[in-house]
Amino acid sequence: MSNRIDQKFSELKSQGKKGLFPFLVAGQPDLDTTVRIIQRLEALGVAGVELGFPFTDPVADGPVIQSAFTQALENGATATKIFDALARVRSKISIPIVAMVSASIVYKIGTENFIRRSAKAGIDGFIIPDLSLEEAPGVAQLVSKEDLRLSMLVAPNTPADRQEHIARVATGFLYYMSVAGITGERDQLPADLPAKVERLKQLARVPVLVGFGIKTARQVRQVCEVADGAIVGSAIVRRIAQAGEEANNSDDVVHAAEEYVRDLLTGLE
């Protein structure tokens, strides 16, 4: 079977569509709820899910995601438990799942072991934000042996020659950060975003997605006028956190995520 990320982008391209990739923190507020949210979002029509592995010292995540990571870790969301939770339900989920995971977690478990266990659990690819560009080709090679993908990050201030190098290494998709700095919701997207994405698409052999700062259906629409899809993270994580504080049960948390993503998807219509 070919990789689900490749399949999804091929399908979207043939239909002339763009994709929404919501970001979820694995274990916020607990792993069972995370899995239920993924299933609901698939039913809504998202293209895939980016799943954050909780980490004590995230590289580019703002306070909203850091807080969710802390909650997930306190609730015992280890890599092993995340793998187990996904493996139990993967046969019921057809969309791609991309793990956003720190290199520290990968190295601690062992790169080949982590990749093998990810494949067995049904993960389709990785974003490793603190993976050095020097180490990336070797990791990409190991990832490809399991028919998984290694998506790479490009920032607005990434030098041109480095962008070219990143574009050569990346598989699955390229993740363009709309702004330099940490994750978080923003009212306006940068004016130079279209030009930056167009340049990256000329370099890339894979689809280009845009994340960081996106929180409304209008912004999803703006991004998808130039990119192949949008990633929305902090805005969803914040709403899950709010619902968790106010709700009496996990159904309300799932519903809050579902309703927000339903609105975001109108940006693709």
- Annotated catalytic residue 50: yes
My answer on whether omega of the bond before 156 falls inside 30° of 0, hence cis, is: no
> How crowded is residue 112: how many other Cβ atoms within 10 Å of its Cβ?
14
What's the CA dihedral at 137, 139, 140, 143 to 10 degrees?
160
- How far apart CA 240 and CA 91 sit, in angstroms, is 25
Helix (H) or strand (E) holding 37: helix 31-44
Maximum pairwise Cα distance, the chain: 52
> How crowded is residue 108: how many other Cβ atoms within 10 Å of its Cβ?
12
- Annotated catalytic residue 192: no
Catalytic residue among 50, 74, 192, 228: 50
> How crowded is residue 125: how many other Cβ atoms within 10 Å of its Cβ?
24
Catalytic residue among 6, 30, 61, 124: 61
Q: Is 176 exposed, middle or buried (0-12, 13-18, 19+ CB in 10 A)?
A: buried
How does strand 49-52 pair with strand 97-100?
parallel
Residues marked active site are found at 50, 61
